[in-house]
Amino acid sequence: MSFENLGLIAPILRALETQGYTTPTPIQSQAIPVVLGQKDLLACSQTGTGKTAAFAIPILQLLYNQKKAEQTPSRHIKTLILTPTRELAIQIAENFSEYGAHTGLKHLVIYGGVSAGPQISTLRSGTDILIATPGRLLDLWQQGHINLRYIHQFVLDEADRMLDMGFIHDVKRVITKLPEKRQTLFFSATMPDEIAHLANSILTNPTRVNVTPVSSTAEKVEQRMYFVDKNSKRSLLIHLLKNPDITSALVFTRTKHGADRVAKELNKVNISANAIHGDKSQNSRQRALQDFKGGRIRILVATDIAARGIDVDNLAYVFNFEIPNVPETYVHRIGRTGRAGASGIAISFCDDEERAYLKDITKLIAQQIPVVTDHPFPASHSGGAGSARPAPGVNLRQSSTQQVQAKKNSNRKWNSRPQNKQYS
């Protein structure tokens, strides 16, 4: 199937051709006709499947046709897209710019962490599509700068992440401001009970699209697990990054302080890195992301909240420096690689305290993660959750004598430094 087969208008097909898109992904081929038919949609689709285009393309077509039929152009917001993070909001806005380049439609992205003045100014001049994070949207609505009474399409994106980040009550408040008669598009990578209940409460006879099984991991992502002591994780990361094949990688930590510490230690050994997390300014986060995308830094270290929405072409490696304590988060993390049909490698470090988290993850994804045993920093207590089946190493062939000596050197180096309890 091609995009032409989906009944798309010439301005959008022209934009897709410019971007080099010819064949829709499964979520796009199934969702676009539903949205064009102005039906509600409930889509369970993992990250990296092209879901932004699945709602952006048909919304642009609906608004374009509506605008052509209007005798007097409306300045009211017609489409609201609610998303959990600034990075994801910016990414969605970039997609609307690409797909809507020849439609003449206006879109605006609003989020916290920056001055509201320019956003308010643009709102006053009118916009067709508003892409927003919940907090800033409610702030500007309360101040009287946003009118949601004319919304035709409401998109709730990354609904499960809204729950994880504690935004679910803000989402429910936003919904009460919307007209009852509207088209609602609901996207979530996973479907925990609370999210399923929310979907049932706001959708009307929705068409269901389930491209991949709930909580599944991308098929082309090769997963590897390393059991390692907590104090040896940084040494193991540096060791693996000596592999010249790893030209760039996204490294996940659980804490903001941990992200800063990992980036700092990598830079000390001449591995260019930067960190992004919620305490960084928006400009700093965007600069770090652009440097990473542009190849000016090799490693981007991120917390889960900051990383949602990072979309980097051909990102081959993701590292879980720390195992997430929410199993669904593992699915989101490794979904940063292996996107749009590409292959990728997800490498995870598991210390003794994290084995319970790993057990929850393997239960969720219904598969064992291959364990790499041939590396110079093995955990003091081997075994545990996960498969005993060895995984392909990353240039790790060393003699047992070399491994023991490397472990001793690492322990002397890192144990001589005071350990911060926030860093794990």
What's the Cα-to-Cα distance from 199 to each of 133, 184, 290, rounded to whole Å? Answer: 19, 10, 35
Q: What domains sit in the chain, N to C, each tagged with a CATH number?
A: 3-210 (3.40.50.300), 221-415 (3.40.50.300)
The more confidently predicted of residues 127 and 165 is: 127
- What pTM was estimated for this model as a whole? 0.63
Q: Cβ distance 90 to 132 under 8 Å?
A: no
What's the Cα-to-Cα distance from 213 to each of 155, 307, 339, rounded to whole Å? Answer: 22, 23, 16
Q: Does residue 132 surpass a pLDDT of 70? A: yes
Residue-level pLDDT at 389: 46
What's the Cα-to-Cα distance from 1 to each of 5, 24, 33, 100, 174, rounded to whole Å? Answer: 6, 7, 13, 22, 37
Q: Does residue 129 surpass a pLDDT of 70? A: yes
Q: How many CA atoms lie within 13 A of 162 on its CB side?
A: 30
Average pLDDT, the chain: 85
- C-alpha dihedral sign at 227, 229, 232, 237: positive
The arrangement of strands across the sheet holding 273-276 comes to: 221-227, 344-350, 317-320, 249-252, 299-302, 273-276
How far apart are the C-alpha atoms of 277 and 289, rounded to whole Å? Answer: 11
Assign 285 a pLDDT band (cuts: 50, 70, 90): confident
Smallest CA-to-CA distance from 165 within 90, 88, 222 is with 88
What's the Cα-to-Cα distance from 325 to each of 218, 361, 368, 385, rounded to whole Å? Answer: 20, 9, 17, 14
Residue-level pLDDT at 403: 39
Mean pLDDT of 169-175: 96
Q: Cβ distance 203 to 163 under 8 Å?
A: no
How far apart are the C-alpha atoms of 35 and 21, rounded to whole Å? Answer: 19
Q: Does residue 420 surpass a pLDDT of 60? A: no
What phi and psi values does residue 278 have, to the nearest 5 degrees? Answer: -65, -20
Smallest CA-to-CA distance from 376 within 390, 394, 353 is with 394
Q: For the ranges 18-22, 289-293, 327-331, 397-401, which has the lowest average pLDDT?
A: 397-401
Mean pLDDT of 374-380: 92
Strand partners, 223: 346
Mean pLDDT of 82-109: 92
